[in-house]
Structure 1
Amino acid sequence: MGGGVNRDDFSRVGPHYLTCVDWSNSNHRTAVTSSLVQGVYSMQRDRMKKRKPLSNPWWESFGFSLDKPLINEDDNSIYGAVFEYKNNQNIPHSGSGVPPSYVIAFRGTMLKFKTWRKDLEEDLRCLFTNLSNGTRFKHAIQTIETVLEKHSTKKTSVWLTGHSLGAGIALLAGKTMTKRGFPLETYVFSPPISSIPLDSLSGLDVVKDIFRFAECIFKVTLSVLFDLKTKADDPRIAKWIPYVYVNPSDIVCAEYIGLLKHKNVMADFGLSEFEILGAGVSIRSLVFGDEIGEPIQLLSSADMTVNKNKPNVETNNMLKKWWYKFKKAHALAQWWDPNPDLRVNWETHSIRPSTPCLDMEPTSSS
C-alpha cells in the first residue's frame, strides 16, 4: 500500500526495540523479515520522491546490507531486493539460531506513483492464476538462481519473504525452487488468494462450510464436464513448510483461514482427495478453459499465524472506516508490534500432507 514519511521512519514506526536478534525466536524472525519487505517499499518511495533515503535502517539495523535492488523493466520500479547478511555494524544476536546468508524480499501493491498500473496488472495475474507468467516472477526466479549458483560451493542459506502481491511471488518462487531441489525458508505476509473471502464476512461458520463444499463440487464437476486442466498437490514440495501470516479482517488473505478449515471438514468426511482436486481448479480455467498456472494457495504444507486482534478505527464515515480497518489489517506493522499482550491473540495453524490441519495454539510471546 502507499504511505508517507512517517511509515518509512524506522526510528518512529519500526521494530527499533529489537537491538539483539535471537534467530531461534520465531517472533524475532517475523519482525526482521517483515522489516526487510518494508525496506523495499521505502526504497521505492525514496526513489520516486527523490528524497534523502529513509530505507537503509530497515535492513542495516539487523546486520544486512543491500546486495542489489530488483528493478521491474516495464516501469523501472523497485519491486524487490536482495539483502546479504554481513553484520558490518556488529549487531548483537543471541540464541542457537543461525541468520540467513541472503534474504530476497518482494513488496506488494503501491497505489501511488507510476508503479500502480503495473502493480494492478500483477494483482490481476494473481486473481486469474497467471502470476507465474509475469515479468516480475520470471525475474525473481532468475535472481534466486543467480544467488544460489554464485555460492554453489558454500553452505549458503537463502530466505524468501514478501507482502501481499510480493507474498504471492515469494510463495510461487518457493514452490518452484523446491521442485528443483532447493527448498528455501519462506515468510509471507498477507498473501493473495483467488477465492471468495468468506472468512472475513460475518455469518455462521456452518453456512460458510456448506458454501465451500458446494463451490468445491461445482468446480470439480465443471472440470470433469469440460475436461479442464487442474493442478494437484506436488509430492516434491510436501516437506517445504512456508510461514504464512494472515489477519481475519484482511480480505486479501483471510480465506487462507477458511482454506484450512475446509481441509479439516473435508478430511473428517474422508474427502481430502476431492478437496485437493477442487483447490486445483482456478477461476481462469473456469472462465477461459485454457492452460493454467500454479495456484498460489495450493500448499501441501504450511505453518500459518493468524492475528485475531481487531483493528480499531475512530470515524463515523462507514466507507472510511472499512478502508482504514482494511489498511491496518493488511499492514506489515502488525507483525513487528512489540506489545506481548497483542501476541496473546495470535494463533498458529499447521497443515501437513497426511494431517490437513492441526489444532490452533496460541503463539508464544517470548
Structure 2
Amino acid sequence: MEENKPASERQVFCLSGPSHLTAVDWNNFNHRRSIAASLVQGVYILERDRQQNRRDDRAHAPPWWDSFGFRLIGPLVDDVDSSIFGAIYEFKSFTSEFNRSAQNAPDYVIAFRGTINKSDTMSRDLKLDIRCVRNRLHESSRFQLAMQAVRSIIDVAGTKSIWLAGHSLGSAISLLVGKNVTKMGYSVEAYLFNPPFSASIEIIKDGKLKDGVRITTSIVKAGLAAAKGRHWSPQPGDTFMSLSKWVPYLFVNPADPICSGYIGYFEHRKKMEELRAGKIERIATLNSLLKSNSEPLHLLLSANLTINLSKSPDFKRAHGIHQWWDPNFDGQSELHEYM
C-alpha cells in the first residue's frame, strides 16, 4: 500500500472539482449532473485515500460530498481485495442559500467508481471489466454487495428519492442494479457516466456497413421471435413494461470507444422508426430481453442520452469523470423512449 504520497491535483476538490457551483439549484439538470459525478469521484478518492493511508485531516475525499450537503453513511468494500468500490451518501436535511430548492435533492445516493489502474485494485477491477464484456457482472460478489446496499436503503427509506450513480465499471454496476430494482417495482433515478457498451458490432468502422448489420440483426431477431410464438407486444405484468418506463440518464463521449456505442444504438432505433420498421425493432428488442440468460448488460429500452460535444484530446479525457462537471461543458441531450 502506498503511503505519504502527495495527492495529484485531480484528487483535490478545491483544485479540480466543480467549484463554480457556488449555489446549487436542484432543479437545474447541469447542477444535478455535476453533483452526481462529484459523488462518484468521492468514491475514487475514498479508495485512493485508503491506498495512500490518508486519514482524518489528511483525507481528500470528504469535500467531494460535504460541499453539496451530503454525509457519508459508509463505504462499500469489495470482499476480494478489500478495496472501496462504492459509497452510500445521505443528504443533510437543511436549506441554505447554497442549496436552493433543496426539497428536490435526493435523500440518498449510492455511487460506484470505475477501474483504478493501481496495483491495489487493478487485478480485481480488470477481471470485473471482463465480466462486463461477457455479460457476467451479475455473478460477481461486488454486484451482490451493491444490490444488498441498495435494498437496505430501500428498506429504510421506502419510496424516498434515491439516486444511483456510477462511472465506467461503476456505471455498469449502477445500470445492472437499476434494472433489477426496477423489475422489483421500485423507482430509482440513475446517472450513468461512460457506461460500457459491450457489442461486437462496434468494431465495424464503415458506417453504412454497420447500419446494414444492425438492420439485418433486427430483422433476424424479430423473425426468430415470431417463429417461437413470442408476444408481439408487452403484456401487463411483464418486467418489460416496468423497464420501458425506467429512464436513466446516460452520459457518453463520442471519442470514448467504451461508451460511444450507445450513440449508434439509439440512432439505429430512430432510423428504424423513420423507415417505418419500428415494430420490427421493438420485437427484436423484446426478443433480446426475454433471453434472460444472455441479456446484454447494455440493453436499455428508454434513456435520456447526453453526448459531450466538446473535443477530447485523448482517451483519458474522453473517458474521464472530470468532463461531466466542467463549467464549459457543451452537451446535447435527447430523450429516447420505448413506445
Q: Give the TM-score range, shorter chain.
A: 0.7 to 0.9
Within 2, Cα distance between the matches of 1:224 and 1:137?
Answer: 34
Q: Give the whole-Å Cα distance in 1 for the aligned partners of 2:82 and 2:74.
A: 14
Could you tell me which amino acid in structure 1 is paired with residue 338 of structure 2?
A: P
Identity %: 39
The match for 1:211 is: 213
Q: 1:237 to 1:215 in 2, by over 3 A?
A: closer
The answer to whether 1:331 aligns with 2:320 is yes
Structure 2, unaligned stretches of length 5 or more?
1-5, 229-233
State how 1:175-186 maps to structure 2 within 5 Å. 175-186=179-190
Distance 1:28 1:18 in 2: 8
C-alpha separation between the residues in 2 aligned to 1:91 and 1:42?
A: 27
Which residue matches 1:361?
none
CA contact (8 A) 2:37 2:165 kept: yes
Gaps of 5+ in 1: 227-231, 286-290, 313-324, 355-366
* In the alignment, structure 1 residue 6 sits paired with structure 2 residue 9: yes
Per the alignment, residue 3 of structure 2 pairs with none
The structure-2 alpha-carbon separation of the partners of 1:80 and 1:96, relative to structure 1 and needing over 3 Å to count, comes to: closer
TM-score, normalisation: structure 1: 0.80
SS of 1:136 mapped into structure 2: helix
Report SS of the residue matched to 1:238: helix
Give the whole-Å Cα distance in 1 for the aligned partners of 2:79 and 2:286. 31
Q: Tell which deviates more after alignment, 38-47 or 48-57.
A: 48-57
Query: What is aligned with 2:293?
Result: 292
1:109-168 CA distance string (max 9 Å, x none): 11212211111111111111111121111111111111111233xx52111000001111
Q: CA deviation at 1:271?
A: 3.4
SS for the counterpart of 1:139 is helix
TM-score (norm 2): 0.86
Contact 1:137-1:173 at 8 Å conserved across structures: yes
Q: Could you say if the C-alpha distance between residues 281 and 119 of structure 1 is closer, same or farther in structure 2, counting changes exceeding 3 Å?
A: farther
| Residue 189 (structure 1) aligned to one of 190, 193, 197 | 193
The whole-number CA distance in structure 1 between the counterparts of 2:144 and 2:227 is: 33
RMSD: 2.9
Distance 1:337 1:210, change over 3 A: same
Cα distance change of structure 1 residues 72 and 223 upon mapping to structure 2, 3 Å threshold: farther
1:139 to 145, 151, 158: 145
Match of 1:18 among 7, 18, 21: 21
Q: How does 1:131-170 map to 2 (within 5 A)?
A: 131-152=137-158, 156-170=160-174
Q: How does 1:234-245 map to 2 (within 5 A)?
A: 234-245=240-251
State the aligned residue count. Answer: 321
1:59 partnered with 2:68: no
Alpha-carbon contact 1:106-1:170 (below 8 Å) kept = yes
